[in-house]
Structure 1
Amino acid sequence: MLHVAVVGSGPSGCYTAQSLVQLDHEVHVDVLDRLPCPYGLVRYGVAPDHEKIKSLQGALCTVLEHERVRFLGGVTVGPGGVAAARLRELYHAVVYCVGAAADRRLGIPGEDLPGSWSATEFVSWYSAHPDAVDGGFLRGARAAVVIGMGNVALDVARMLVRGVAELSGTDMPQAALDTLAAGRVADVHLVGRRGPSQARFTTKEVRELGALPDTAVLVDPAEAALDPAFRDPSGLPGPLRRNVEVLRAWAGRPPHDAPRRIHPRFFLRPVELTADGAGHVSAVRFERTAPDGHGGVTGTGRYEEIEAQLVLRSVGYRGVALEGLPFDAASGTVPHRAGRVLRAGAAAPGEYVAGWIKRGPTGVIGTNRPCAKETVTSLLADATALAERDVPADPLEGLRAEGVDPVEWAGWRAIERAEAELGASLGRHVAKLPDWDALRAAARRAAT
């Protein structure tokens, strides 16, 4: 009987646990997470108004409630917690499903000015991640620039113009809801360095912008037409063609007045963030780009500025090195072969990876399922050798000996009840607890 630790309770971690118990009817799995709450980016990354995607929590919950799966929240692996080497002593195998925790940077002057943030910081705030800070994102902001053309960029643009009536039915923390409701952002510029046919968002996401109440989506037809595929999208793959068709429909509409406006902009590369007299970001300077004929763009030497008191960059994620594991800094991943961690080119017995730390920040939530199954297939092929190792009958005792006091499933259920109670007190269905103290206090209620 194998005891396996899965580090990370997001989709990749849950799918790994699911594959393990489905493919081996004796394996026992502990799903460890640094946070007291499970589900990873499904809880703390999916936009609160995307209730269909967030409902995936129900399927992940079924995995974590399996009789041979145990959720252990509040367990840090690495500095300040349980060392990776110690984890290997407690379990026959460890699968790391820790995602990609860092944001890619623009690397331009002014990027660290007050008022300039990563989209992840903004998402963490309105999703009530306990590590989030209230940076006064919207303070004094009349115009915002969102740099990037992926789904996360569309999410944050949408949140900036959503009204309180549309968000009060979500699980957004009350403080973020109040701040967004009082926001005065009228113009959101969604900016990409390439053309409409190369945007990374999905058609469903971009169509949502056109359905927002009291909001106009304004596409400059001349700018978009710098992309030859915008003028004639017939040769594009289906998903990209549908994206372009949505943008073409907007570009063909006469401008109309609305209290809030979203401006998709193309062929603009950020080169500098400039500040006002108080040192706060006031504008983004862009270089106009042009297609190079090979799928990329080249600079034209022409520049323009877009006024903004809030700048959110959404240009991708990177994996972070884990203490005790090898790391490829170029790709931001752990070197592996079919999920087996490689040390000096050889498979490290009992160490595995799945999800973004394995393959990089690519794909959608469902991509994690086959990724996890590949890793689990490798692990179970090694099962005979792994089972020869002597590990404790119950690894939880060893974790507690390291000073860990895990939040078990009953503690998480207590957090859920506390969030429902908080929501009811505010006249809402549910409202997330916004900080570590509130989460820990709720989890402790399970013990009493």
Structure 2
Amino acid sequence: MTFRVAIIGGGPAGIYAADLLTKSEADVSVDLLERLPVPYGLVRYGVAPDHPRIKEIVKALQRVLGHPDVRFLGNVEFGVDVKIEDLREFYDAVVVATGAMADRPLGVPGEDLPGSFGAADFVSWYDAHPDVPRTWPLEARHVAVVGAGNVALDVARVLAKTADEMLATDIPANVYDGLRAKQATDVHVFARRGPAYVKFSPLELRELAHSPNVDVVVHPEGFEVDGASMEHIAKNKQAKMVLDTLANWVGREPTGKPHRIHLHFLEQPVSILGSDGVTGLRTERTRLVGDGSVAGTGELTDWDVQAVYRAVGYRSTALPGLPFDHAAAVVPNAGGRVLDLDGVAIPGTYVTGWIKRGPVGLIGHTKSDAAETVAHLVAETSHTATAREPEAVDRYLAERGVEVATFAHWERLDQHEIALGAAQDRPRIKVVDRDEMLQQGRALPHGHPTAV
């Protein structure tokens, strides 16, 4: 008898799990349930639009969605359209792969002021996520970005580059108009630790200097490397490449370009200043203590900025009907098996990706993560579903008035976006509105004015 498996989340983690299931020795049928009408999750809505190379992963993910034993059921929200109890009637196992899209807080005074933003929210805006506002306040001339990872670089780069530079990407008109109106001239990126410990990838870092309109300024204050730093880069090739690039930029004078990205090390945020809105950021100078960590020095600096972007990591959110570790922001699990409040594995319930282990690692790292979860699932699953046929869940969703967006819907929308882009000599132009996504995905009669 065929195992019926539901995967909640149509991003890379969920799709990798589906791929491994179909390649396993088990006879499986997989349904991927996704809240949005489109697949790919973080690849579509978390990767900066001017990084098309990273989005090449979509080609491999698309092949998985085309597998005859995999169905994509988009526009289906877990906890709203279907509950965990319902899924257990239709499926022998449920795999949760919902990722992490919320911002981790800084935990400093002033964090809730107008003008203090989460990087994830900004990324969702410039990546044309359908569930966020269409506009973004970009009046600040001097901006602070707190964080030392690739998301911090993405935010700084998008804030500093001109809107016309982004026209070669898939951004829709509302994002272009917003970026064209932005006022930022100087973007300051603050890292709490020293330059040997930042989490930038070498390629992303070097890309900062590729814009003809942006100077990159690495400030020598705080650019310190001790013995522990040298030991760290000796074991980490990427960290060494990053440090070498930064060292070549230290103290380099701006060339007069209209925009600047400033990189500051050994500065940790203490508070965001202002009463009715952000008027500054206060940081404390830190010092290396010889073991890779840092300690505060008590030396404070107030930076004249009118906006602060928090890019200190993503955070998963709790899901209805499932246990959640609020401190670690993950579903408690052992090797992907979901554990109840007593630490006992819940039969037929699994997690993979960032909801399993936290937002650590690059997209490709979710493959090994999914392999562990799928191995347990295949070894442990028994036939428990009482309504096994795919048509049963289809009827259930139809009765609840849910318009399911299938893989065929996505293929039609995909071609529509590509056609929009081709008309402007661009790779694609994203459709932003959820209703328009659904409309373009529907199978329309040939000759219909909105047929794709």
TM-score range, shorter chain: over 0.9
In 1: Cα distance, 2:19 partner to 2:122 partner: 32
In 1: Cα distance, 2:385 partner to 2:181 partner: 59
Aligned residue number for residue 121 of structure 1: 121
Larger displacement relative to structure 2 (423-432 or 328-337):
423-432
Aligned residue number for residue 36 of structure 1: 37
The answer on whether the counterparts of 2:228 and 2:291 sit within 8 Å (CA) in structure 1 is no
Following TM superposition, by how much is the alpha carbon of 1:178 offset from its aligned partner in structure 2, in angstroms? 2.3
The one-letter amino acid of 2:383's match is: A
Larger displacement relative to structure 2 (371-380 or 336-345):
336-345
Partner of 2:268, secondary structure, is strand
Aligned residue number for residue 91 of structure 1: 91
Aligned residue number for residue 430 of structure 2: 432
Following TM superposition, by how much is the alpha carbon of 1:227 offset from its aligned partner in structure 2, in angstroms? 5.5
Following TM superposition, by how much is the alpha carbon of 1:355 offset from its aligned partner in structure 2, in angstroms? 0.5
Cα gap change, 1:398 to 1:233, in 2 (>3 Å): closer
Larger displacement relative to structure 2 (68-77 or 326-335):
326-335
* Per-residue deviation, residues 139-170 of structure 1 (Å, max 9, x unmatched): x2211111001000001111112233431121
Aligned residue number for residue 415 of structure 2: 417
Larger displacement relative to structure 2 (151-160 or 330-339):
330-339
Aligned residue number for residue 324 of structure 2: 327
Aligned residue number for residue 341 of structure 1: 338
Match of 2:388 among 385, 392, 409: 392
Aligned residue number for residue 298 of structure 1: 295
Following TM superposition, by how much is the alpha carbon of 1:292 offset from its aligned partner in structure 2, in angstroms? 2.6
* Per-residue deviation, residues 173-215 of structure 1 (Å, max 9, x unmatched): 2211222133231111011111111111111111111222121
Cα gap change, 1:30 to 1:107, in 2 (>3 Å): same
1:280 aligns with 2:277: yes
In 1: Cα distance, 2:88 partner to 2:144 partner: 46
Q: What percentage of aligned pairs have identical amino acids?
A: 44
Q: Give the number of equivalent residue pairs.
A: 442
- Normalized against structure 2, the TM-score is what? 0.92
The answer on whether the counterparts of 2:3 and 2:26 sit within 8 Å (CA) in structure 1 is no
In 2: Cα distance, 1:271 partner to 1:112 partner: 14
Aligned residue number for residue 107 of structure 2: 107
The answer on whether the counterparts of 2:162 and 2:213 sit within 8 Å (CA) in structure 1 is no
The one-letter amino acid of 1:243's match is: V
Gapped regions of structure 1 (runs ≥ 5): none
In 2: Cα distance, 1:289 partner to 1:130 partner: 40
Following TM superposition, by how much is the alpha carbon of 1:235 offset from its aligned partner in structure 2, in angstroms? 4.3
Cα gap change, 1:367 to 1:427, in 2 (>3 Å): closer
* Correspondence list, 1:205-284, <5 A: 205-225=204-224, 235=234, 237-251=236-250, 253-275=252-274, 279-284=276-281
The answer on whether the counterparts of 1:332 and 1:357 sit within 8 Å (CA) in structure 2 is yes
The answer on whether the counterparts of 1:72 and 1:408 sit within 8 Å (CA) in structure 2 is yes
Following TM superposition, by how much is the alpha carbon of 1:442 offset from its aligned partner in structure 2, in angstroms? 1.9
Aligned residue number for residue 10 of structure 1: 11
In 2: Cα distance, 1:300 partner to 1:345 partner: 42
The answer on whether the counterparts of 2:152 and 2:189 sit within 8 Å (CA) in structure 1 is yes
The answer on whether the counterparts of 2:196 and 2:233 sit within 8 Å (CA) in structure 1 is no
Following TM superposition, by how much is the alpha carbon of 1:135 offset from its aligned partner in structure 2, in angstroms? 4.9
Match of 1:360 among 358, 383, 398: 358
* Correspondence list, 1:9-88, <5 A: 9-24=10-25, 26-78=27-79, 80-88=80-88
Aligned residue number for residue 377 of structure 1: 375
* Per-residue deviation, residues 331-378 of structure 1 (Å, max 9, x unmatched): 111122221111222221111111011111111111110111111111
The answer on whether the counterparts of 1:230 and 1:248 sit within 8 Å (CA) in structure 2 is no
Partner of 1:218, secondary structure, is strand
The one-letter amino acid of 1:155's match is: D
Following TM superposition, by how much is the alpha carbon of 1:391 offset from its aligned partner in structure 2, in angstroms? 2.8
Cα gap change, 1:398 to 1:437, in 2 (>3 Å): closer
Aligned residue number for residue 448 of structure 2: none
Aligned residue number for residue 202 of structure 1: 201
The answer on whether the counterparts of 1:143 and 1:186 sit within 8 Å (CA) in structure 2 is yes
* Per-residue deviation, residues 1-34 of structure 1 (Å, max 9, x unmatched): 1111111111110000000001136311111100
Cα gap change, 1:234 to 1:4, in 2 (>3 Å): closer
Following TM superposition, by how much is the alpha carbon of 1:266 offset from its aligned partner in structure 2, in angstroms? 1.1
The one-letter amino acid of 2:16's match is: Y
Following TM superposition, by how much is the alpha carbon of 1:231 offset from its aligned partner in structure 2, in angstroms? 8.7
Cα gap change, 1:427 to 1:52, in 2 (>3 Å): closer
* Per-residue deviation, residues 371-419 of structure 1 (Å, max 9, x unmatched): 1111111111123xx2254333123223333443211112112222332
The answer on whether the counterparts of 1:195 and 1:224 sit within 8 Å (CA) in structure 2 is yes
Partner of 2:203, secondary structure, is helix
In 2: Cα distance, 1:233 partner to 1:349 partner: 42
* Correspondence list, 1:95-174, <5 A: 95-138=95-138, 140-174=139-173
Cα gap change, 1:417 to 1:238, in 2 (>3 Å): closer
The one-letter amino acid of 1:51's match is: P
In 1: Cα distance, 2:328 partner to 2:187 partner: 32
In 2: Cα distance, 1:427 partner to 1:235 partner: 45
In 2: Cα distance, 1:387 partner to 1:409 partner: 27
1:309 aligns with 2:309: no
The one-letter amino acid of 2:321's match is: G
In 2: Cα distance, 1:21 partner to 1:225 partner: 50
Gapped regions of structure 2 (runs ≥ 5): 446-450
The answer on whether the counterparts of 1:197 and 1:230 sit within 8 Å (CA) in structure 2 is yes
Cα gap change, 1:70 to 1:217, in 2 (>3 Å): same
In 1: Cα distance, 2:246 partner to 2:259 partner: 18
